[in-house]
């Protein structure tokens, strides 16, 4: 729906659960897949347990996949910049192809924020071929109208196909020894003899450590997995609209003043979105037609053709939102951690977040024996 049909081989066996393992990763979305990949690369025995019959059944499978180096939240920007480099590097993917579609990424803000944008461009350019720059006083750039705003332009950013990435990482993890279990739900976790035991619909697994990468489901976690910093689910709704000539091609963009965003899907379609502030929204809530209409009007300020464009489909899902800026949150059970809510931006952070989480688990559960 939001990207090309994934052609990477799907690794989704549902083999028998091991009785014990190094790390249990709960959830096979993009975050869990990245963590599992990095743990397996370090030679740690890892078992991924996913309630759905296939990977990416949560926010990941419905995501827009927009990626850029800059984020107004410094904690997210710190993860997004190195993540972009991973998405750009073909050598890191089993497919042999870099997933990044470099359509360009434009972040629009109030002109008063120009000095902060210039600093951000310097950070984004640091250590790379400098390509990011700031524009003010322009009406339009890369097919996107700026509506009086200043813009940080990252020509080498754009979007990625999240499902394809998730499958690639899980495939690499399996090649490096990880066991993957689909259609198995985690019911709870408890500490026994200083180690966590994960109770699932297919039996118990004893582990050295457990990490819940359960996205919006972290809001209502299984027993023993409640993070010390709460996560709530919030609705996200996007539309796919038809882009017909003479509508020009355009870069991806987000306007931080309104939260409105868009990206190209293919030569004739674009994805458009605007914050949908419905909290505690279940994953499969019905689409909101009023919000879809309001989104098209709001995006029309930047892409004038979008206001009257045919809506091909509307996709509603949700993501986990929280205020915690660290990556991992402890739970009440020792050696059991929960991944932070990604506040609607977990694709742009997943490569570096997974790497750091794997490092943290390795240090806390396999180096000091705590």
Beta bridge partners of residue 93, listed in sequence order: none
Tell whether residue 57 is a contact of ligand FAD (CB under 6 A).
yes
Is residue 177 reached through a cis peptide bond, with omega within 30 degrees of 0 on the bond before it? no
Contact pick of 217, 305, 321, 362 for ligand FAD (by CB under 6 A)? 217
Cβ distance 215 to 338 under 8 Å? no
Residue-wise DSSP of 56-123: TTTHHHH---EE-S--SSHHHHHHHHHHHHHHH-GGGSTTSS---B---EEEEE-GGGHHHHHHHHHH
Determine the interface stretch with ligand FAD among 3-11, 102-110, 138-146, 209-217 (rule: CB under 6 A).
209-217
Determine the interface stretch with ligand FAD among 82-90, 125-133, 168-176, 210-218 (rule: CB under 6 A).
210-218
Tell whether residue 227 is a contact of ligand FAD (CB under 6 A).
no
Tell whether residue 29 is a contact of ligand FAD (CB under 6 A).
yes
Tell whether residue 216 is a contact of ligand FAD (CB under 6 A).
yes
Determine the interface stretch with ligand FAD among 17-25, 38-46, 110-118, 207-215 (rule: CB under 6 A).
207-215
Task: Please state the closest distance from residue 166 (CB atom) to ligand FAD, in A.
Answer: 8
CA gap 208, 336 in Å, rounded = 9
129 vs 286, which CB is nearer to ligand FAD? 286
Binding track over 158-197 against ligand FAD, x by CB under 6 A: ----x----------------------xx-----------
Cβ distance 209 to 337 under 8 Å? yes
Cβ distance 153 to 114 under 8 Å? no
**Hey, how many other C-beta atoms are within 10 angstroms of the C-beta on 286?**
8
Tell whether residue 331 is a contact of ligand FAD (CB under 6 A).
no
Q: Which residues contact 71 (CB under 8 A, 6 or more apart)?
A: 77, 80, 345, 348
1 vs 118, which CB is nearer to ligand FAD? 1
Can you tell me which residue has the tokens 């976790």? 189
Q: Which residues bind ligand FAD (CB under 6 A)?
A: 26-32, 49-52, 57-60, 62-66, 162, 185-186, 213-217, 222, 236, 238, 315, 317, 319, 342, 344-348
């Amino acid at each position: 729906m939001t990207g090309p049909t994934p052609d990477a081989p799907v690794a989704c066996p549902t083999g028998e659960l091991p009785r014990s393992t190094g790390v249990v990763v709960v959830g096979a979305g993009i975050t869990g897949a990245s963590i599992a990949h990095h743990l397996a690369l370090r030679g740690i025995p890892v078992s991924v347990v996913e309630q759905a019959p296939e990977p990416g059944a949560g926010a990941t499978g419905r995501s827009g996949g927009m990626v850029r180096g800059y984020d107004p939240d410094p904690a997210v920007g710190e993860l997004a910049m190195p993540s972009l480099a991973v998405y750009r590097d073909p050598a890191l993917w089993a497919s042999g192809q870099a997933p990044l579609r470099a359509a360009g990424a434009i972040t629009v803000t109030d002109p008063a924020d120009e000095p902060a944008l210039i600093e951000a461009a310097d950070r984004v350019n640091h250590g790379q071929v400098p390509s990011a720059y700031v524009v003010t006083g322009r009406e339009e750039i890369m097919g996107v109208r700026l509506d009086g705003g200043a813009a940080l332009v990252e020509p080498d950013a754009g979007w990625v196909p999240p499902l394809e990435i998730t499958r690639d990482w899980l495939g690499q993890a399996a090649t490096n020894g990880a066991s993957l279990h689909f259609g198995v739900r985690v019911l709870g976790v408890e500490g026994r003899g200083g180690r966590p035991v994960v109770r699932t619909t297919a039996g118990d697994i004893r582990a050295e450590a457990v990490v819940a990468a359960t996205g919006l489901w972290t809001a209502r976690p299984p027993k023993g997995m409640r993070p010390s910093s709460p996560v709530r689910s919030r609705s996200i709704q996007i539309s796919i609209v038809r882009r017909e000539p003479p509508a020009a091609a355009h870069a991806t963009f987000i306007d931080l003043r309104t939260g409105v965003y868009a990206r190209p899907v293919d030569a004739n379609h674009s994805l458009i979105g605007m914050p949908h502030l419905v909290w505690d929204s279940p994953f499969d809530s019905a689409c909101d037609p009023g919000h879809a209409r309001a989104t098209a009007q709001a995006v029309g300020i930047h892409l004038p053709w979008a206001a009257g464009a045919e809506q091909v489909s509307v996709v509603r899902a949700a993501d986990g939102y929280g205020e915690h800026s660290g990556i991992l949150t402890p739970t009440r059970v020792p050696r059991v951690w929960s991944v932070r809510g990604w506040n609607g931006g977990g694709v742009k952070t997943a490569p570096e977040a997974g790497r750091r989480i794997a490092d943290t688990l390795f240090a806390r559960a396999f180096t000091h024996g705590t």
